[in-house]
Amino acid sequence: STTRRQAVHVCGRLFLKNSAFAAHISSSTLSASVYRLLSTRTLKIVSPCNLPKHSTERVCGVLFRTDIGRHHSTVPEKDSSLVEQKLLLKYFQMVARDLKQVEEELEKCSHDSQRTRELTAKMSRLSSIVALVKKINELNREMEGLKDLERDFTRTGDKDMVSMAVDDQKNCQAELKQLNDQILDQIVPPDPIDTTEVLLEVTAGVGGQEAMLFTKDVLDMYVRYASWKGWSCRIVDYETSDMGGVRHASLNVGGRDAGKCLKFESGVHRVQRVPQTERAGRIHTSTMAVAVLPLPAEVDVVLNSKDLVMKTKRASGPGGQHVNTTESAVQIQHIPSGIMVESSQERSQLQNKELALKKLRAKLYEIELNKKTSSHVTQRKLQVGTRGRSEKIRTYNFAQDRVTDHRIPVTVHNVEDFLHGQDNLDSVIRRLLDESRKEILLEVLQGVK
């Protein structure tokens, strides 16, 4: 008795898989009649789908199904190889259990107590996870129905309907990806560096002038990458070599996801190529190091003036008579930690002092963060590394025209394009972020009791 208008209105699409599902009713019935729209005027009822044998389990009011020989995970396909469904189900069971306990405790608490506010915040977080799980499960079932319809229309040779079914699958997949990212963000604890500006430092390593030339290449790569991403990028320190290379340089980089994307660039970068100074054509190996430090606000790191020793001196390098006659460079030592920073990039002593204090706060903040996270990193042994400065992370081989990241591992070709700082670099960074999130997620799920 279902009319065409009712069908389109109920499901919001051209296809209606299941009346209980389309009406957004949570149901444990997975076998149901499937309606197929054969033309703009008529509807035909197709016999119920022959679904494979499966085991089911209800979590958070949602029915999860595991087909024989196949696992349906609520995380993206790229995560399913690392995150077993049993761990996810166990986590969602814990969420449902915690939500029920919070609701029961809230009924007993007074309305204005601190405990009530804490429980309300916790209930809001748990409820959002439950809602996301329900939406993901609904979309997964809708995706299965669309695939069934695509196969049906393929057998009957209806190309137009196949095309529409494929388009609907793409839209459904896009929605699933957004929801999957949201639920992973809820489960995986945030990294403080993800939302801060960062100080990116590059320093030449082993290899003399060739190492300094390579350091300049890497620095230029990050400057172009920041511009390509639309971030703000400011050079705060820049020390050159006689041949135009860079001994040491620092960048302030800010913008959406700047810290998140750059945090795994810390480490030793190795280059294998024929240097400009090599006459015999032999390949040399040189290195440079990258350090990425979060830039905290002044309230995050409070500096006591009694702990600081500040000195001024004349800056070195280009700058004309002003550099040679004024003590504009500033050097600050933090007595408790022994850390020493310096800034000579600006012409004003006051500006250089502000930059030096900013660098000092970043280094102290990094030490504090490392103390908090070192135990977790040791236990987890992240594939993507510990973000340590001494860790060899990437090799740029010009002879073989490849860049290899040793942490994932992944190899991309066209070194020059990679150093241009756009798609190739961004794709490797995205892979690193995905691997990091997978491992942290797996650790969180394994810790569920």
162-188 tens-digit pLDDT: 999 999 999 999 998 888 888 888 888
- The pLDDT of residue 386: 47
For tokens 């430092």, the residue is 201
Distance CA 447, CA 223 (A): 40
**DSSP code at position 276:** T
Q: What confidence category does residue 90 fall into, taking pLDDT thresholds of 50, 70 and 90?
A: confident
Query: Is residue 10 pLDDT above 90, yes or no?
Result: no
What does the alpha-carbon distance between residue 356 and residue 316 come to, in Å, rounded to a whole number? 16
Residue 294 clears pLDDT 70, i.e. is over it: yes
Q: How far is CA 232 from CA 9, 197, 343, in A?
A: 47, 9, 20
Does 395 have pLDDT greater than 90? yes
Nearest to 141 by CA among 57, 56, 63, 87: 63
Q: What is the pLDDT of residue 222?
A: 98
State yes or no: pLDDT of 239 exceeds 50. yes
In the chain, CATH 3.30.70.1660 covers 194-446
pLDDT tens digits, one per residue of 26-71: 333 222 322 232 223 233 333 333 333 344 444 444 443 333 233 2
Compare 215 and 434 and report the one with higher pLDDT.
Answer: 215
pLDDT single digits (tens) 211-232:
999 999 999 999 999 999 999 9
Helix axes 423-446, 208-229, angle to 10 degrees: 80
**Could you give the CA distance from residue 10 to residue 17 in angstroms, rounded to a whole number?**
11
Report the distance separating Cα 354 and Cα 347, nearest Å: 12
Q: From residue 364, how far is each of 142, 293, 312, 368, 387 by CA, in Å?
A: 51, 10, 22, 6, 16
For the cut 50, the answer to whether the pLDDT of residue 133 exceeds it is: yes
Q: Which CATH number fits domain 194-446: 3.40.640.10, 3.30.465.10, 3.30.565.10, 3.30.70.1660?
A: 3.30.70.1660
Cα end-to-end distance, the chain, whole Å: 49
3-state helix, strand, coil in the chain (%, to 5): 50, 20, 30
Quick one: pLDDT at residue 317?
56
The single-letter DSSP state of residue 193 is G
Q: What is the pLDDT of residue 21?
A: 32
Tokens of 194: 């993800």
Q: How confident is the model at residue 318 (pLDDT cuts 50, 70, 90)?
A: low
Chain-centroid distance, C-alpha 116: 33
Residues sharing a CB contact under 8 Å with residue 230, sequence separation 6 or more, in sequence order? 255, 256
> What are the pLDDT digits (tens) for 14-28?
433 333 333 332 333
Look at 250 and 19; give whichever has higher pLDDT: 250
Report whether 23 contacts 17 (CB < 8 A): no
Residue 349, pLDDT > 90, answer no
106-110, 128-132, 392-396: which has the highest mean pLDDT?
392-396
Question: Which of these, 143, 151, 150, lies nearest to 175 by C-alpha position?
Answer: 143
Structure tokens at 433: 């972020």
Angle between helices 85-108 and 114-156 (to 10 degrees): 140
Q: Residue 73: which pLDDT band, with cuts at 50, 70 and 90?
A: very low
Mean of the per-residue pLDDT values of the chain: 75
Strands 329-334, 232-240: pairing kind: unpaired
The answer to whether residue 194 scores a pLDDT higher than 80 is yes
In this model, does residue 320 exceed pLDDT 60?
A: no
What's the average model confidence in pLDDT over 314-318?
62
